[in-house]
Chain A
Amino acid sequence: MASTPFEQKTTAFLTDSTLCIGCKACEVACKEWNQLPDDGMNWSGLSYDNTGAVGHSSWRHVKFVEGKPEPGFGGNAAKSLSWEFSSDVCKHCENAGCLEACPTGSLVRMEFGAVYLQPDICNGCSYCVVACPFGVVQRNEKDGRAFKCTFCSDRQRVGLQPACAKACPTESIKFGTLDQLRVDAVERVERLHSQGMEDAQLYDPRDTSVQGIHSMFIVRGDPRQYNLPPKPEVPTIYLKDGWRASALAAGLLVAATLAAFVASPRRQARSMARR
């Protein structure tokens, strides 16, 4: 299943929230394997999720999506509560904003399709931070460089699966080739539908400029409650308009300057006196 350096198949994650038990083993495994720094003991006060979001020191992040409780009778406990867990990670976009934006070439595409940040090249310009439509990349202010999920490139190169997928006790995090997992995902969603979970769906925004992601998610209900944007766009789509406006601005600058000087009298004589 895992790719070897010779096969060079595009690999992917399929994170299935219907199987996730919220144990956070993936977060721990990721931190241990990648030796990520501590991100403090901050209580969010929102749910059992105290990590909050994927960032420079948390490359996996389990979301605790608590649905609306139905009010109980006469002040008793709530009748029902939907409780979903979903392990979030860098999406390794097909058309990645961070990769396009990086001015140093620190961010590269690996042979198995991962978007990899080379920490020995990153100079901490933090342009990738604002270029990511999923808010994944973040600069470590202490260190100065940006960090993100490496898709365990070091492990994948020697034929091992990523640490999070290996540590997952329920196979909520599946790892395999992208083509296979896309097929598996459709099958899984169909099966969930037949089991009555009609709100289960696959999150893989292939119809946007991101053109699909290498870590897909199966979620129940609206993906927006998992902080998954319905229309992520790679920021390079705005460049055409931007450079056209830039050319227009340059033209305006030159035209206005030329007009102003041509319309004004020569100032040679007085200036010579000043010199």
Chain B
Amino acid sequence: MSSETNIPRPATESRLLQIRSEAERHGRVQAAGVQPAGAPFPIASPQTGYYGLPLLKEPQWSWEVPVYFFVGGAAGSAAVIGAVAHWTGRDEPLARDARFVAAGGALLSSALLVSDLGRPERFLNMLRVFKPQSAMSVGAWILASFGTFSGAAALAEIVSTRIDVPPVRILGEAAQALSAIFGMPFSNYTGVLIGATAIPVWNHNIKTLPIHFGMSGLNCGVSILELVGHERSRALNLLGGCAAAMETYEGYHVEMRRDPVINEPLKRGVSGWITRTGGVLSGPVPLALRLAAALTSDSTSRRLRRMAAWISIAGSLLTRIGWIRAGHASARDWRIPLDIPRPSRGSSEVIELQSKPELPQLKRNVR
């Protein structure tokens, strides 16, 4: 009980007199009924949609999906890095290790994708049709092809250390080339996958998502290859710096854009903070570390690069988790699909309720 309401004040006293005189004159008092402040009646209206219940369904993917995006991005990039290292003849051991990273990643990706299914035993149903209009179908085929060829390339690598005969080498070469070709879309198609949906924050960003995810995957692929023993490769440091620079640009782009309603989940709330942290960890931080590594002596450089690699990997994973969470937040925002503008700060729902409703005038039935 607040004491304020009991203190007679000129304003409240004059209101009481006004009510009394109105009652005397008209025999009734015209005033709004009691409306508890802050507790409006739930009402469906063009401003509140259908009681503010979300129209869209939230994604029903489990934790495996962002991890799949992360592993797939790294594996696809590793296949391309390995193939280029081999074709340019610059780094054969790197090419060899990249084959194993790509094959391992493909295996892990498949396991993650299958375990996310509601009916994992039916995963092969994905391969009973090919639908170019479905990013999921195209992705399943890319994964199947990438897995086959990167696995074959890794197998050929193992066999060729025992029996080094031309057929094995030729098959290995072909498999590596094909795994690089399928690795290119595999590293970034997940951006198309989530972009071509009804979730506003995803489809709104479809023009940049594949590039963002592709660069994030490259960043992670480089980092994994460095951590498996290629922390002296100058090419990898250069490539990692390149990816980090692209990610820095992407983060800056998202941060600076002025369309706050649809992109709000990328900036606010838990999803916003995860996306931001992921952006900082995959962009400016590794970029600075890699620059420093390029300029310092050997042992310091290696330490800095290991640090950059771990941070990039964490950033890449957080980026995917952040984007998936942003999709959840976006699906819950009922205003966007209904095209309802957000109320401005000043107006509250109570005031909105007290305004007269625009009810139609009912005419007499003409018939």
Contacts and interface: CB of A to CB of B under 8 A. Distances in A.
B135 A239 contact: yes
Interface in A125-164: 125-127, 129-141, 143-146
A261 B232 contact: no
Given A76-B33, A123-B118, A224-B338, A196 B77 contact: no
Given A199-B360, A238-B196, A246-B185, A125 B136 contact: yes
A233 interface: yes
A100 B92 contact: no
A43 to B, nearest CB: 12
A246 B60 contact: no
Given A73-B30, A74-B31, A103-B140, A123 B125 contact: yes
Interface stretch (B146-154, B186-194, B255-263, B268-276): B186-194
A250 interface: yes
Contact of B92 (A104, A127, A271): A271
B236 to A, nearest CB: 8
Interface stretch (A9-17, A32-40, A44-52, A168-176): A44-52
Contact of B235 (A44, A52, A222, A263): A263
Contact of B126 (A123, A197, A258): A123
B303 interface: no
B343 interface: no
Contacts of B46: 221-222, 224-225
B76 to A, nearest CB: 8
Contact of A250 (B91, B209, B214, B367): B214
A133 B198 contact: yes
B185 A103 contact: no
B283 interface: no
Interface string B340-367: 1000000000000110110111111111
Nearest to A239: B196
Given A129-B59, A138-B57, A261 B360 contact: no
A47 B52 CA distance: 12
Contacts of B215: 249, 252
Given A67-B359, A242-B206, A129 B232 contact: no
A102 interface: yes
B32 interface: yes
A236 B131 CA distance: 12
B265 interface: no
Interface stretch (B6-14, B35-43, B305-313): B35-43
Contacts of B43: 66-69
Q: How many B residues touch the partner, as a band?
A: 35 or more
B50 interface: yes
Given A196-B364, A266-B89, A105 B131 contact: yes
B81 A257 contact: yes
Interface residues of A, number: 106
A226 B242 CA distance: 49
B162 interface: no
Nearest to A100: B133
B88 A261 contact: yes
Contact of B362 (A71, A196, A230, A274): A196
A104 B331 CA distance: 24
B326 to A, nearest CB: 13
A70 interface: yes
A225 B214 contact: no
Given A123-B125, A242-B209, A134 B55 contact: yes
A135 B361 CA distance: 34
Nearest to A275: B93
Given A100-B131, A256-B239, A261 B184 contact: no
A261 to B, nearest CB: 5
B253 interface: no
Given A106-B125, A138-B57, A133 B136 contact: no
A252 B55 contact: no
Contact of A137 (B57, B80, B242, B360): B57
Given A105-B129, A236-B196, A270-B232, A261 B119 contact: no
A74 B28 contact: yes
B159 interface: no
Most buried by B among A66, A139, A195, A253: A253
B191 to A, nearest CB: 7
B199 interface: yes
Contacts of A260: 235-236, 238-239, 242
A227 B59 contact: no
Contact of B187 (A124, A248, A253): A253
Contacts of B188: 245-246, 249-250, 253
A206 B299 CA distance: 66
A238 B234 contact: no
A74 B133 CA distance: 61
Interface of B: 28-35, 41-46, 48-51, 53-57, 59-61, 77, 80-81, 84-85, 88-94, 116-120, 122-123, 125-126, 128-129, 131, 133-137, 139-140, 184-185, 187-189, 191-199, 202-203, 206-211, 213-215, 218, 229, 232-236, 238-239, 242-243, 246, 327, 331, 334, 337-340, 353-354, 356-357, 359-367
25 contacts: A47-B42, A67-B44, A68-B357, A69-B357, A73-B28, A102-B131, A102-B134, A121-B125, A122-B118, A126-B60, A222-B45, A224-B50, A226-B44, A235-B198, A239-B133, A245-B209, A246-B185, A250-B187, A250-B214, A254-B84, A254-B184, A259-B242, A266-B91, A267-B90, A267-B233
